[in-house]
Amino acid sequence: MSEEKTLQELREQIEQLEALNSRNGLDLSREIDNLTEKLAEREKDTKEKLEEWDKVNLARHPDRPGSEEYLDYLMEDFYPLHGDRLIGDDGALIGGLAKYNGETVMVIAQNKGGEVEQSQQSNFGMLRSEGYRKAQRLMKLAETFQFPVLTLIDTPGAYPGKEAEERNIGGMIAKSISEMVSLEVPTVAAVIGEGGSGGAVAIGAADRVVMLENSIYSVISPEGCAAILWEDRDKADEAARALKLTAGHAQDLGIIDEIIPEGGSGAHEDFETTADNLDHSLSNHLEELENYEEDQLLAKRRKKYRSIGSFKKVMKKEQS
Amino acid sequence: MSEEKTLQELREQIEQLEALNSRNGLDLSREIDNLTEKLAEREKDTKEKLEEWDKVNLARHPDRPGSEEYLDYLMEDFYPLHGDRLIGDDGALIGGLAKYNGETVMVIAQNKGGEVEQSQQSNFGMLRSEGYRKAQRLMKLAETFQFPVLTLIDTPGAYPGKEAEERNIGGMIAKSISEMVSLEVPTVAAVIGEGGSGGAVAIGAADRVVMLENSIYSVISPEGCAAILWEDRDKADEAARALKLTAGHAQDLGIIDEIIPEGGSGAHEDFETTADNLDHSLSNHLEELENYEEDQLLAKRRKKYRSIGSFKKVMKKEQS
Amino acid sequence: MPLFRDEEYLRVDFEDKEEKDEALWVKCKSCEKLIFKKKLQENNHVCPNCGGYFFLTAKERIKTLVDEGSFTDKTKRIESDDPLNFVDTQAYEERVEENQTETGMFDAIIVGRGEIKVNPLVLAVMDFRFIGGSMGSVVGEQIVNGIERAVEEELPFVLVSSSGGARMQEGLLSLMQMVKTASARDLLSREKLPFISVMTYPTTAGVQASIASLGDVIIAERGALIGFAGRRVIEQTIGEDLPPDFQSSKFALDHGIVDSVVERDSMRDELAGILDFF
Amino acid sequence: MPLFRDEEYLRVDFEDKEEKDEALWVKCKSCEKLIFKKKLQENNHVCPNCGGYFFLTAKERIKTLVDEGSFTDKTKRIESDDPLNFVDTQAYEERVEENQTETGMFDAIIVGRGEIKVNPLVLAVMDFRFIGGSMGSVVGEQIVNGIERAVEEELPFVLVSSSGGARMQEGLLSLMQMVKTASARDLLSREKLPFISVMTYPTTAGVQASIASLGDVIIAERGALIGFAGRRVIEQTIGEDLPPDFQSSKFALDHGIVDSVVERDSMRDELAGILDFF
Ligand SMILES: [Zn+2]
Ligand SMILES: [Zn+2]
């Protein structure tokens, strides 16, 4: 709102200057050019910010299709497996054996749940320790039988609960990452909605990572980031822009392998086109990965993650 | 008591018969012989029963040294490791890195605890799910670094609690057995007190299993067995005899590799001699096992457990 | 075509005896209605009136699962030799004989080769009637044999448990069957052959704490009892009553112990569906 | 003999600056007594009066651990290049520069080769002063470098964490450092080299949820804060206050998250003792 006001003010200023210009031999062109440039920049900024924030809203759209819908659509057959064999069965993580393009794959997917009741059961996609442990169990099972692992990421983050901390949720996320990155089968991860921080990357340490066009993937929620860095949760839109949490940025940073276009104005409007595109992408990646021997696969994966990061050499600089 | 009474009665009867015998030309020698034989049998029975039951009592003796004492005595150095990284740290299972004969070993030991307070903390040696999970963690750690695994068994059985069942204690025992029997390092288990059913065998699936002379190892507690089969917990002594739960029987059945003599009338009286004997045995077994390559070791272990069992061929028999 | 295609390891068919001994009608424990026995058999031993489950013998269980005529009994011709000379209120030797006579089985398990909706497999099924389905040397050996056969013929292995646990009367030898079966089970994974464990009423103690819990996929039949310690022992230990659904199939599912709870009528389809993935 | 034996990867010594800036006396937060700074340093930054812990910089931590003169700084000469052009209340680029000036460090970690009671090792120590010890591309890279050096020279790897988590200002790149470090960590196991993780105040969020939790042995310093989510976030979520010891070292030990809780004074002995086993 206040941003829009500023833009409006700038536009009016320019208009007034233009009206005054060339009259009485007055040359305001430099000032006009300056302001016009400023306006353009400001507009671009605003658009970007809106774009980022729009994507956050799209990624979280209540009608956005979730894992269950994609599995229903993409898998010829799906046999859900339950439980972590120790604590319980986490409704926020669905997983199991599936037939995909005629082959068996292990699916591990975060599940926000659609209806209100479902959402509560699945804890709005926020996994607990047992959810990550279940993911680890399914990964190891897949490895035993050499089934490729397909993960669908859609979580606001791991559940910030008392019990979760008592049950070492951080350690469980670490273990999931560690198991996944060492898994001796092809792995593909797709961010289909929210890729919320450590809770998401726990099942994202894959050979290939793809993102739906309007999904987000971030080190922290924009709200959390705004609260910490701006000390104001309402600056979430600004934080979203700063965090560069869209698929485009993720690709620019070299972290994801593909952006999957969504149909219409987003997956919630045109599910089928979106799911078909996802299907196409997953199939391609799996097919490519199956060309590699186990050790090639692991070597490639290690190399990939070894090289992620951005830094520069320190030049001789003065330090106290 | 009633057994003693019966014996007393028999003895008196024989005395009376002997007093009457040869008087007035009466020949009671056959009756006397019969009764004498009966008495002898009865006495032998009673002794055997007492022997088994005595061992049960010795194995459970409140002053019987526990894992902590043996570790203190045998290990040059011991660094306890804690926790299962998920639920908690089970005081009934102590474990960690130790130096033994100059080499690093992984020790996994059931801990009844000595003092009343300690005993409560260690739940009288009854492990919960997290205890078995901790055991699994330490086994895997040992495998990573190729440390031999040494387990000390001393438990009345796994903890029969509500939470334990909710946390799949049966499944955790199964997992422990499964991990241990597949472990790619030498493993030696010693029963030092009570080897109580599944809760004990969970850390007993070793290359070599030894038992202290007065320890017991059983599929079920004598009390539990008596309650089920005799429908009378007080028949525990009879059940103990029937179960053949002593070291001698275990050796006869081909299940353990060595009986370790205890000093004096038992480890509680002469700890040092007992511990020295244990030391000697463990050292020998470890030394022998270290001669094998990994795959030889595993093959031998599999063969050993493959062949445990006792049955006969069914002869052509009539069945309905 | 007979359901059981007997071969080399021909076992005595105990069908006749059952038919002889029992009436044409049985009473359902749940709804107390009298059910025509033939009808019950056709209905997977599920009460056609109320859906209640009747107890299944191993053989009956096999019938509910495999393709007609596909099952070949491969149970080894072995029986217990009473290694402990165990006597409680009855001598174990007698007890075994009695159970053999009553059930027509060598011990508490049948192992064979069969097909479930054309999926070939090795199937082992425990029988609770035989000394509580308890696992002693014979049951352990038969399970391992089944696993070895599966490995040899590259087949999946399915175990349907119905057992109170390890068999007390064989003492430590029974306890060791937990290790023996767990060790053999590993061979399947090494050969990438699936092991599906089906837990029915009851799957407890030494069996739940070993082979039954080591399935790649674990299925509970609705109405199963799944746990390690007995309800009464736990109640005595903790000094409080346990909820009625304690150690039920639903309880096991809720606590992450099993992958699914399945109706008896769907078990065959369920298994076929799972086998299809491997 | 100087504590830091600088070599090729010579880094600027920030000792002088500290000495200059600070008074000779500091006040203990726990007992409020004034402590002579030199005395404090000699005492592992533990208050000689009440035993309270003073905050440790990475360099100070290293001094409390390694044999005198044994440590060679191998921190790579790299710094953040602000890949996101991140600006919050301050531009990230500026923030980094400011932190570099204040700490004399390139980023939030020092990695080097040293000895603890004659046990050689690669030691990586985080510094909370540098943007909360947060892990971005540089910290991730330095950890991986340290691990690779350990593998190359067949040495144990010890990481002392003091970090609020992943660095927000590098967005997804920071998140990926969790995978990068976890992946590298595996190399140590493959070479049978131990990784000992020491958690100090604080070890939270993205660092606790990756490399720090993957130690073969995990030690918590007394007074550490160990957890994934922040206390306030959890309190808001569950709508109740958390106990004061929540996420403390003791809490972590009780819940099986760490192997032991160690006093700062004993940490050097503790590490030497553990290294001795490998
Ligand atoms: Zn009925
Ligand atoms: Zn003080």
Where residue A96 falls (left for φ over 0; alpha for ψ -120 to 50; beta otherwise) is left
Domain-embedded: residue B62: no
What range defines the domain where residue B91 resides?
Answer: 67-306
Joined together, the tokens standing for residue C203 give: 């799957």
∠ CA C56-C62-C65, nearest 5°, is: 105
pLDDT digits (tens, 9 = 90+) for D81-129: 999 999 999 999 999 999 999 999 999 999 999 999 999 999 999 999 9
Q: How far apart are CA A84 and CA A81, in angstroms?
A: 10
Q: Do B86 and D256 touch (CB under 8 A)?
A: yes
- Residue extent(s) of CATH 3.90.226.10 domains in chain C: 56-277
pLDDT at C247 over 90: yes
How crowded is the C-beta side of C220, counted as CA atoms within 13 Å?
Answer: 30
Q: How far apart are CA B249 and CA B265, in angstroms?
A: 19
Of C173, C175, C265, C276, which is closest to residue C217 (Cα–Cα)?
A: C276
DSSP letters spanning A218-240: ESS-HHHHIIIIIS-GGGHHHHH
Per-residue confidence (pLDDT) for residue D130, from 0 to 100:
97
The answer to whether D14 and D103 have CB atoms below 8 angstroms apart is: yes
Q: Do D182 and A173 touch (CB under 8 A)?
A: no
Residue D168 with chain A: CB contacts under 8 Å: 219-220, 225, 228-229, 243
Q: Provide the pLDDT confidence category of residue C117 given band limits of 50, 70 and 90.
A: very high
Alpha-carbon distance values, A231 to A161, B222, C130, D88, D106 (Å): 23, 66, 70, 10, 27
Q: What number of other Cβ atoms are within 10 A of residue C236's Cβ?
A: 11
Q: How far apart are CA D111 and CA D184, in angstroms?
A: 15
- Chains touching B, CB cut-off 8 Å, 3+ pairs: A, C, D
Find the ligand nearest to C26 CA.
1
In three-state secondary structure terms, D93 is helix
Q: Does D38 touch chain B (CB under 8 A)?
A: no
Q: Does B47 touch chain A (CB under 8 A)?
A: no
Residue D188 with chain A: CB contacts under 8 Å: none
The per-residue pLDDT of chain A, averaged, comes to 93
Mean pLDDT for the stretch of residues A142-162: 97
Joined together, the tokens standing for residue C232 give: 């009464």
pLDDT digits (tens, 9 = 90+) for D202-224: 999 999 999 999 999 999 999 99
- Chains touching A, CB cut-off 8 Å, 3+ pairs: B, C, D
Q: How far is the CA of D53 from the centre of ligand 2 (A)?
A: 8
Joined together, the tokens standing for residue C278 give: 């491997």
pLDDT digits (tens, 9 = 90+) for A6-30: 888 888 889 888 888 877 778 888 8
The per-residue pLDDT of chain D, averaged, comes to 91
C56-277 is classed CATH 3.30.300.30: no
pLDDT at D159 over 90: yes
Share of chain C above pLDDT 90, in %: 80
CB-based touch D/C (3+ pairs, under 8 A):
no
pLDDT at A165 over 80: yes
∠ CA D246-D250-D256, nearest 5°, is: 95
pLDDT at D187 over 90: yes
Q: Does C187 touch chain A (CB under 8 A)?
A: no
Rounded to the nearest 10 degrees, how much is the dihedral formed by the CA atoms of A181, A184, A186, A192?
-40
Sign of CA dihedral A89, A93, A94, A100: negative
Joined together, the tokens standing for residue A102 give: 């005629």
Of A215, A221, A211, which is closest to residue A156 (Cα–Cα)?
A: A221
Domain-embedded: residue A154: yes
**β pairing state of D78-80 and D72-73:** unpaired
Gap between the terminal Cα atoms of chain B:
46
Query: D23-28: long-range contacts (C-beta < 8 A, 24 or more apart)?
Result: D26/D54, D28/D52, D28/D54
Domain-embedded: residue A39: no
C residues 214-253 lying closer than 8 A (beta carbon) to A: 216-217, 253
Residue A208 with chain D: CB contacts under 8 Å: none
* Amino acid identity for residue A214 in this structure: N
Joined together, the tokens standing for residue A37 give: 């440039």
- Displacement of CA C48 from its chain's centroid (Å): 23
Under DSSP, the state recorded for C24 is S
Of A35-44, D197-206, D259-268, which range is least confident? Answer: A35-44
Residue C228 with chain B: CB contacts under 8 Å: 158, 160, 164-165, 169-170, 173, 198
pLDDT digits (tens, 9 = 90+) for A203-246: 999 999 999 999 999 999 999 999 999 999 999 999 999 999 99
Contacts of A231 (CB under 8 A, 6+ apart): none
* Residue to test with chain B: of D257, D266, D267, most B Cβ within 10 A: D257
Model ipTM?
0.91
Q: How far apart are CA B148 and CA B190, in angstroms?
A: 14
Joined together, the tokens standing for residue B113 give: 């605890």
Residue B172 with chain A: CB contacts under 8 Å: 86
- For B101-232, strand residue ranges (E) read 103-110, 149-155, 187-196, 208-212, 216-218
Mean pLDDT for the stretch of residues B180-206: 98
Q: Provide the pLDDT confidence category of residue B317 given band limits of 50, 70 and 90.
A: low
In three-state secondary structure terms, C162 is strand
- Chains touching D, CB cut-off 8 Å, 3+ pairs: A, B
Domain-embedded: residue A18: no
The answer to whether B153 and B102 have CB atoms below 8 angstroms apart is: no
Q: How far apart are CA C67 and CA C115, in angstroms?
A: 6
Closest-CA distance of chain A to residue D100, Å: 8
Find the ligand nearest to C31 CA.
1
Of B277, B200, B199, B243, which is closest to residue B56 (Cα–Cα)?
A: B243
Domain-embedded: residue A122: yes
Q: How far apart are CA B252 and CA A105, in angstroms?
A: 50
Q: How far apart are CA A196 and CA A206, in angstroms?
A: 16
Residue A126 with chain D: CB contacts under 8 Å: none
Joined together, the tokens standing for residue A281 give: 């992408």
pLDDT at A48 over 80: no
Q: Do B80 and D260 touch (CB under 8 A)?
A: yes
Rounded to the nearest 10 degrees, how much is the dihedral formed by the CA atoms of D9, D10, D11, D14?
150
Instruction: Compare all CA atoms of chain C with the CA of A137 and give the residue at the minimum distance.
Output: C216
The answer to whether C53 and C80 have CB atoms below 8 angstroms apart is: no
Of C233, C220, C85, C241, which is closest to residue B197 (Cα–Cα)?
A: C233
Instruction: Give A167: exposed, middle or buried? Use CB within 10 Å, 0-12, 13-18, 19+.
Output: buried
DSSP letters spanning D178-202: HHHHHHHHHHHHHTT--EEEEEEEE
Q: Which residue has the higher pLDDT, C17 or C241?
A: C241
For chains B and D, what is the number of CB pairs under 8 angstroms? 53
Kindly state the helix (H) or strand (E) to which residue C146 belongs, with its residue range: helix C137-153
The answer to whether D150 and D122 have CB atoms below 8 angstroms apart is: yes
Under DSSP, the state recorded for C54 is P
CB nearest B79 (choices: D189, D254, D274): D274
Gap between the terminal Cα atoms of chain D:
29
Under DSSP, the state recorded for A107 is E
Alpha-carbon distance values, A317 to C209, D97, D174 (Å): 64, 11, 25
The answer to whether B267 and B190 have CB atoms below 8 angstroms apart is: no
Unique residue bearing structure tokens 């422990």: B176
Q: Tell me: cis bond preceding C202? Omega within 30 of 0 counts.
A: yes
Q: Do D183 and A302 touch (CB under 8 A)?
A: yes
Q: Do D88 and A239 touch (CB under 8 A)?
A: yes
Q: Give me the CATH number covering residue A192.
A: 3.90.226.10
How crowded is the C-beta side of B121, counted as CA atoms within 13 Å?
Answer: 11
**DSSP bridge pairs for C80:** B311
Domain-embedded: residue A33: no
Contacts of C257 (CB under 8 A, 6+ apart): A83, A85, B168, B171, C213, C218, C226
pLDDT digits (tens, 9 = 90+) for D253-264: 999 999 999 999
Q: Tell me: cis bond preceding B186? Omega within 30 of 0 counts.
A: no
Joined together, the tokens standing for residue B184 give: 């790619």
Q: How far is the CA of D48 from the centre of ligand 2 (A)?
A: 7
How crowded is the C-beta side of B15, counted as CA atoms within 13 Å?
Answer: 6
pLDDT at D32 over 90: no
Q: How many structural domains does chain B have?
A: 1
Closest-CA distance of chain A to residue D126, Å: 18
Q: Does D16 touch chain A (CB under 8 A)?
A: yes
Joined together, the tokens standing for residue D219 give: 């030690």
How much of chain A is helix, strand and coil, in % rounded to 5?
50, 15, 30
Residue B86 with chain A: CB contacts under 8 Å: 86-87, 129, 133, 167-168, 171-172
